[in-house]
Structure 1
Amino acid sequence: MPLHASRDYSAVDGIDYHEIPLTYPQFLRQYLEPNLPVLLGPALTQHWKARQQWVCAETGKPNFNILRQHLCPTTTSVQVPVADCQCRDFTDQRRSTMDLRAFLDEWEANSLANAPSRTYLKDLHFVQTFPEYGAYETPDIFRDDWMNEFWTRRSDMDDDYRFVYCGGDGTFTPFHADVYRSYSWSANICGTKIWTLFPPDQEHLFRDSLNNTVYDIHNVDPIQFPHFHRAKQFTVLQQPGQTLFVPSGWWHQVQNVGDTISINHNWCNGSNLDLLLDSICADLKDVEREIDHLKDMMEESEWIETCQKLLLLNSGWDWSTVWLMCTTIRSRVRRQQQQHETTSLPQADGPINGSDNSTQDHPIEAEAESFSTFIQDDKVVPRRTPIFDPPLVSQQPPLDLTISRVDAVLDFIRNDTSARWFLENVKGISLRVEGING
């Protein structure tokens, strides 16, 4: 039985817009499961502190004084990641770090002069950097977020996928698909973004003979990429306060119009678990192909371990990442199932089959103290990143469906000889999981 039904994008002819916030069953059925983008109105985020404090009511531009007051301490420097939008670095822009106050000063000067910007504050781990600020709350329809739930509980690192982006007119993000082929949601606090989105299954149209991809869709060499003009694409104008859901595997480029601030999460769950599995398998094949000339010089065990090391280096994950995320989520969902069973309330078939997921909600204790530290260089280190609380039952698909999808991935890994050897012999991970034979 396949992990997920196949998806067909051939009939997609535009991006839906909903002024009134969607319920979770609507979002799951219409966009999450079929992996389709949607633009949502400002009501979804109107109560956020970021929208109320970070924007000048009179001009609609960033309130630079408030940002400096709340985010720039006078005694220490807050270093933030920035990109130079006028300097290409392979498939990305040249990256560096910059003092946040200096960035805001430079940005404000460009804004007052109505001049375009080249410095773009990107991928700032805002919740990690300002854990007490509370700039926003994750909307209910995006709370089934396995990446942030797992990453903020990892015992080996202090990390998350919760970001803020700030940039002036003309700043942009080059053509790409998101890390791990994850979902993303992006909420504009102020300013306007022009998104150009490309449905999946078209990568052959924007790759050249050496497997390089297009960098800037507005400046494509027709000799290097002779088929790019055939790619199906959709343009979305995202206004202040609006939120865009970008599905898994949709390539896109983003251009800022005017002074723009946005909040973004990368995330995944059972609805795109099959696409993540396809992604890691494809990434691993790429690694194996790149170093195939070395295979005959290595023992099989050395080959497997080398490929996994390069996979982690190049793609940010290996089989242990997928296994541990899935088992972490499985354990939490099983606890929710057990709590649900004690209420004697039958679980609905769920919105995937057309009915509302009306089961009683059961919050799972965050166990903040249990995740207050992590291990770094064999030392116990305090964790800075606040944990991401699990979703309620009403904020995710039927629990039995989630368990079955996770189990399918765990079975796939267990049945892969190389993956099994790597997990057991290199990572020391037991592949015994409650409720799964083998």
Structure 2
Amino acid sequence: MKVVKFGGSSLASGESVSNAINILTSEKERQVMVVSAPGKRFSKDIKVTDLLIQYAEDFLHQNPTNDIVSKIFNRYQEIGNYFGIESAQLEIIHDILLNLPKQNYPNNDYLLAAFKAHGERLNARLIALILNHMGIKSRYLDPIEAGLIVTGEPNDALVNPESYINLDHLKIFDDEKIVFPGFFGITPSGHIATFSRGGSDITGAILARGMHCDLYENFTDVSGIFSVNPAIIPSPKSIKKMTYREMRELSYAGFSVFHDEALIPAIQGDIPINVKNTNAPADPGTMILPNRNFSADRIITGVASQKNFSALYLHKYLLNKEAGFTLKILQILDKYHVPYEHMPSGIDDITIIFNRKFLTDQLIDLICNEIQALINPDQLEWIDDYAIIMVVGEGMKKHSGISATILSALQAQNITPQMINQGASQISIMIGTKNEEVKLAVKTIYQEFF
């Protein structure tokens, strides 16, 4: 059995839904369809999820909501009409939208999560209706019924291990298709909580593991995963196969085709993932595979970069002989609930790299002030101009001198990395550069190896 997930761009219109249904029904093994909310139909269009967020905000601010409800419903009605679904059958979608503000929510975060989740929830209901209208035996399966239990934050949920037990007990008949909404689960108290944005990938991986599937197919709008961002290198090479950990490393630094958190259930269940193109389903796409018995085709699999980082540089003589220095820093970060990404160090200095999304200017000042007062470094410098490049490849383990090759190529372009660090797994090299140098650095590395 296969789980097949379709992204929002693959379900944005009646025509695209028809294409997705053709893919679903082209193989008997494709029994479980995980759906996203309808995405953009054209470049200036608005995703249904964003319309639902606006709906929630309008309600919370006591603004009129009739217009936004009509906009959201029209998106589903347009898709239903494409397949000849009668208006009376679509009224349930309109009723559910109207009733969203009337439900009881523990707080506004739960309200926002519930509103957002209905992009997927209503689309799954609609597509199950369409399939049955077409004579394809189908069943809408809600996360409540399936027992997909989540914990954590209302808008950044984590799957509960109990979910896998519940999914294992589900009965799926050989002659039916299951349509399942992505992006959300149900808390132990019965409220909706969503995964992080793009979390339908996570739902698909959870189902693939819980249902012991042979393959998880993730359909999107590109033919697999490219070895570098096409915005930096036009027509880059596509990746035919890669390992889970290669994908994790590259996702961390900006590969956005597949949600990096979705890899965890697949890894735990040892489920291969195939990222494919909805508009070219015959293309092989990219296979994401377990690490064992993996044979790399190239030294480098991919190069990724991300600009949203900052760094705190500290210098203090005899730092290596001062016990508890790092602990004091970590306690300050813990006090303000700020995670750090990396902490490369030398004999007398240390650099702490942060993801900027966890910081505000006020937090930066508070952290720097406390570190200065408690540790009294000889030099303290905050660096906002920081980018991270990840060079990743299972083939790196069998080849020496990769770091030297990269540094030599960068030097030829007058780029001096602010930091370089090779992971213990020997499949990745992290490079810190200035923001204005990152695009040229990525081009240089790509051209050196590809």
Query: Normalising to structure 1: TM-score of the pair?
Result: 0.27
Larger Rg: 2
Work out which structure has the larger RCO, using CA pairs closer than 8 Å and 6 or more positions apart in sequence: 1
Query: Normalising to structure 2: TM-score of the pair?
Result: 0.27
